[in-house]
Amino acid sequence: MASSELFDRSENPSLFGPGRRFWSMVHVDPVLLLLLLVLVAAGLVVLFSGADQNMAMVKAQGVRMGIALVVMLVFAQLDPAVFRRWAPWLYLAGILGLAAVLLFGIGAKGAQRWLELPGLPRFQPSELMKLVVPMMAAWYLSRQFLPPRLRYVGVSLLIVVLPMAMIILQPDLGTSLLVGAAGIFVIFFAGMSWKVISGFFAMVSVSAPLMWFFVMRDYQKQRVLTLLDPQSDPLGAGWNIIQSKTAIGSGGIDGKGWLQGTQSHLEFLPESHTDFIVAVLAEEFGFVGMVCLLLLYLLIVLRCLYIAALAQDSFSRLLAGSLTMTFFVYIFVNVGMVSGLLPVVGVPLPLISYGGTSSVTLMAAFGVLMSIHTHRRMISA
């Protein structure tokens, strides 16, 4: 008890000293909550500009964020043991859901992602899998001695690859990558040997050409080609990258000012309120704004890794670590893509891009993290 109290004080005595009991009782990590609220608020400010000062969109997004925060709080109330117990069943349900999507899902933009069940709001099973796959992998691996033996690694890879493949078939490369990353991070945190990791990378580099010829669709290939040379098709596929780089670059050090970004407001920047919203931020708030944003993200990642490190059992640790790193993958892939480092894949900027589904999933993940952090048994290590 004493050591635990000492520990909490060392974090931030002024904030957590007297209120520790309260935060523990409501199962909320105040540091993480504060960081997330700052991020969401900043996101709404940028969205107002990115959505061309459409207040209705900002309000809608605000409502979604409210819902997402509620979801987070709900998840935070559940004991991590609940997640562990439900993991296999949730996984099974998720796989069935993905199968159902492939069989009779609802399409949008040439991809089937949605599932409509009678009596339920329509939802994306693939989105759910971002949480369920790491849970399942963590459930499976936490039952083994860690670091796991190769065959357990193999089984857990299967657990990851099966939903990935099903999501790719929809096709939804972005989500598939995130789901895969979530699973792989679990295996990595579980202590998959470096030999296996290097072997895995070797395999990826070999299979890449095979993927190119047999798996990837034309539009996906086009995105890769466009990344390599955006000027090859400046009015077509290269347009997005050229325009987003122009937006970012023209922002300069301190930006053009809020609502002053010409690239986005004059409609040169496509998807300026969804996947490419970071270009709006970069254009209007410049390098300084970008550094602040990335710093905020870094703080969130640090806090989450810290939570993971303090987690008391393997399942919680693996799950927390994986969810944290998945969050980071969002950031890196989105910013990398918008700034022309990575090919264009449909990955939103977490908690800032317009859209409800990914925000809810992300907030749920933070709820899981808070749950893990606030359900610790008070025993000294």
CB of 333 to another protein, least distance (A): 10
Is-cis flag, bond preceding 171, omega within 30?
yes
Shortest Å distance, C-beta 167 to another protein: 24
The distance of closest approach from Cβ of residue 250 to another protein in the complex, given in angstroms and rounded to an integer, is 4
Residue of the chain from 30, 62, 336, 355 that contacts another protein (CB under 8 A): 336
**Candidates 76-84, 126-134, 306-314, 351-359 — which segment interacts with another protein by CB under 8 A?**
306-314
Nearer to another protein, 114 or 315 (CB): 315
Say whether residue 4 binds another protein (CB under 8 A).
no
54 binds another protein (CB under 8 A): no
Nearest CB to another protein, comparing residues 208 and 295: 295
Instruction: Name the helix (H) or strand (E) containing 106.
Output: strand 106-108
Report how many residues bind another protein under the rule CB under 8 A: 54
Taken as a whole, the chain contains a residue count of: 381
* Closer by beta carbon to another protein, 167 or else 247: 247
Binding another protein (rule: CB under 8 A), the pick from 305, 355, 356, 376 is 305
DSSP letters, 204-232, are HHHHHHHIIIII--HHHHHHHHHHH-GGG
282 lies in the binding site for another protein (CB under 8 A):
yes
Distance CA 308, CA 320 (A): 5
Report the first-to-last Cα separation within the chain, whole angstroms.
11
> 189-228: which residues touch another protein (CB under 8 A)?
189, 191
Tokens of 22: 């309260």
DSSP 169-210: TTT-HHHHHHHHHHHHHHHHHHT--HHHHHHHHHHHHHHHHH
The nearer residue to another protein, 30 or 249, going by C-beta atoms, is: 249
**In terms of CB distance, is 46 or 282 closer to another protein?**
282
Decide whether 6 or 253 has the Cβ nearer to another protein: 253
Provide the 10 A C-beta neighbour count for residue 257: 13
Q: What is the number of H-type helices and E-type strands within the chain?
A: 16, 2
- How far apart (Å, rounded) are the C-alpha atoms in residues 130 and 69? 18
Q: How far apart are CA 190 and CA 347, in angstroms?
A: 26
Amino acid at 275: D
Site string for another protein, 127-146 (x = CB under 8 A): ----------------xxxx
Tell me the C-alpha distance between 369 and 372, whole Å.
5
Handedness of CA 165, 168, 173, 176 (dihedral sign): negative
CB of 130 to another protein, least distance (A): 18
CB of 271 to another protein, least distance (A): 12
Pick the closest to residue 347 from 365, 328, 364, 363 (CA basis).
328
Q: By CB under 8 A, what part of segment 242-271 binds another protein?
A: 242-243, 245-253, 262-263, 266-268
Does residue number 51 form part of the binding site for another protein (CB under 8 A)?
no
State the residues that interact with another protein by CB under 8 A: 143-147, 185, 188-189, 191, 235, 242-243, 245-253, 262-263, 266-268, 282, 286-287, 290-291, 294, 297-298, 301-302, 305, 308-309, 313-314, 317-318, 321, 324-325, 328, 331-332, 335-336, 339, 341, 381
